Structure 1
Amino acid sequence: MVDLAPAHRDAYLELARRRRLYGGLLLVIFVAMMAAGFRLAESRNAGGFVDGLPMVLAFPSEVLAEAWQKRANLPGLLMAHLPSLVETLNIAAVSTLLGGLVAMGLALLSTRGLARWPRLTGVFRRLMDALRAVPEIVIALVLIYILGGGPVPAVIAISLHTAGALGKLFSEVAENADLKPVEGLASVGAGWGQQMGLGVLPQVAPNWLSYALMRFEINLRASAILGFVGSGGIGYDLKLAMQWGGGRYDEVVAIFLLLFVAIVVIDRISDHARGRLVRG
């Protein structure tokens, strides 16, 4: 092994000391910010965090104890809430489809080298940023105030957020597409739509479908959460069951079981499908 020259060794040691110094400073700043944030949250909280730690398992224990006493009711409750689960799945599926279609257009219009109007790529990128920045629950609350409760506000809210999130991912995939097929189609007089449909989509379809399936899993959880604000589905049933408190905790457990099983099944199916798509 060749020994480093003294000047090079000193420079390397100085660089290593500087990196350790910067790393230590960043660690100290991070710990200080975490401590300050915790103290601020503790001061504004209704109860003390440390004082409440012994009660963390109190509510789950009460729920599970009551559900165990009424375990004979669980099969009937599972069947009773199955239509609400189907509604939640429908909300997630329709939202993913609508949001995915919008995301495809936004991605192609905002991708450098593929955009129909290159000067407007920044506008379409900022539009995706805006759609992605606003949480689904905020959009849903505004739409519920305008349209009333039900699945429609949930579908619109999740679709808008999905368009922004998938549009960003789709655009990154499209940027890596080979432009030779596009140039060949353009040389024979194909329009922009034909260039995208025949030259780009076949290349990006596996990754786009993979991202769409992953987003479907996320939208299923989002549609269940939006049920708490009156957007229908199994989340709304869970909200009602928990509002009544003791006496309906067996219903709470049944709903959680339905959600858990549905998410696990969809997650496994999506993982398998994504794996096959990516491997071609």
Structure 2
Amino acid sequence: MSATDIQMTENYLAQTRRKRLYGGLILVIFVALMASGFTVADDRNAGGFFEGFHRILDFPKEILAEALTKWRNLPARLWAAVPALIETLNVAAVSTVVGGIGAMVLAVLSTRGLAPWPRLIPVFRRMMDVMRALPEIVTALVLIYLLGGGPVAGMLAITLHSFGALGKLFSEVAENSDLKPVEGLQSVGAGWFQRIWLGVIPQVAPNWSSYALLRFEINIRASAILGFVGAGGIGYDLKTALQWGTGRYDSVVAIFALLFATIVVVDTISDRARARLVRGGKLDEGRI
């Protein structure tokens, strides 16, 4: 073995040892932070975690026990929750469509080689960072204070978050697109919009559509959660049923069952649609 090979081997082993050392340090720090965070949270709780852990299933058992005694009411409860579910789906759909359109604009404006104003790329990227960093529930609480309770506040909150989340994903896809069609269109005098519409959109449309469908799934869950803070939809009905307590737990089970079934159906349909968009209709074997 030559001296060069020996040196390369030593450098590789030294680099490997450094990676293991850094990985070990990160793991130790992570465990320490988790332990300290758990200790602080447990001290601030009304009761200790381990002292109350054995009662973790008491509340679900109480809900299911009442629902079983009133099982004949479940079909009517399910039907009564359908309008709220439709409202939740409408909020998610509108948020996804509006958020997707805004994300497409932000993605193009923040992509190198495509942006009409390259110097403003950092500005648009920071805008997406801010919108992505703000949790929907925080934005919804502010909007509810300004606009009052209802689905509009929830829709705006989810839309703003979708701007940032989808804009980031769309931008990454656009950055990996082939610029040769764009350069060819530019050479024959095509304008900026024509270059984007004819040279970029056909390349990125499948992945953009796939990400938008995935975002729709996420927005359904977000819309249901925002109902707990007064943003309407099925989450608000679930919160009301839980607040009433004993006597309304059959409604709680019906709403949970309806929401779960809806999410499963949407996930299944969305998964198949995304598979066809990205892989040309070839679904992964064994995947539902």
TM-score of the alignment, normalized to the shorter chain, above 0.5 = yes
Q: What displacement does 1:31 show?
A: 2.0
- The equivalent residue for 1:172 is 172
TM-score, scaled to structure 1: 0.94
* 1:219 matches 2:219: yes
Shift of 1:239: 0.6
1:123-138 equivalent positions in 2, closer than 5 A: 123-138=123-138
2:52 is aligned to 52
Which segment is superposed worse, 89-98 or 45-54? 45-54
The AA in structure 2 aligned to 1:220 is I
Match of residue 242 from structure 1: 242
**Which residue matches 1:30?**
30
Match of 1:160 in 2: 160
1:268 equivalent in structure 2: 268
Query: Cα offset for 1:128?
Result: 0.5
Larger displacement relative to structure 2 (187-196 or 208-217): 187-196
Note the C-alpha offset of 1:37: 1.3
* CA shift for structure 1 position 87: 0.6
What value does the CA root-mean-square deviation take over the aligned residues? 1.9
Higher mean alpha-carbon deviation, 29-38 vs 183-192, is at 29-38
Aligned residues: 279
- SS of structure 1 residue aligned to 2:114: coil
Aligned partner of 1:148 in structure 2 is: 148
Offset of residue 146 of structure 1? 1.0
SS in 1 for 2:190: coil
Which 5+ residue runs of structure 2 have no aligned equivalent? 281-288
CA shift for structure 1 position 35: 1.4
| 2:71 matches 1:65 | no
Deviations 1:216-264 (A, max 9, x none): 0000000000111111110010010000001100000000001000000
Q: State the one-letter code of the partner of 1:131.
A: M
Percent of aligned pairs sharing the same letter: 69
1:232 is the counterpart of 2:232: yes
Write the distance in 2 (CA, Å) between the matches of 1:33 and 1:3. 47
Question: Structure 1 111/46 Cα, relative in aligned 2: closer, same or farther at 3 Å?
Answer: same
CA-to-aligned-CA distance 1:170-198 (integer Å, 9 cap, x gap): 00000011111111111122111111111
What secondary structure does 1:177 align onto? Answer: coil
Q: TM-score, normalised by structure 2?
A: 0.92
Cα 1:160–1:11 shift into 2, 3 Å: closer
Closer, same or farther: CA 165–12 of 1 in aligned 2, 3 Å: closer
Matching residue's letter, 2:118 = P
Evaluate the alpha carbon distance shift between residue 196 and residue 246 of structure 1 in structure 2; reply closer, same or farther with a 3 A threshold: same
**What are the Cα deviations for residues 74-124 of structure 1, in whole angstroms up to 9, with x where unaligned?**
001111110110110000000000000000000000000000111111111
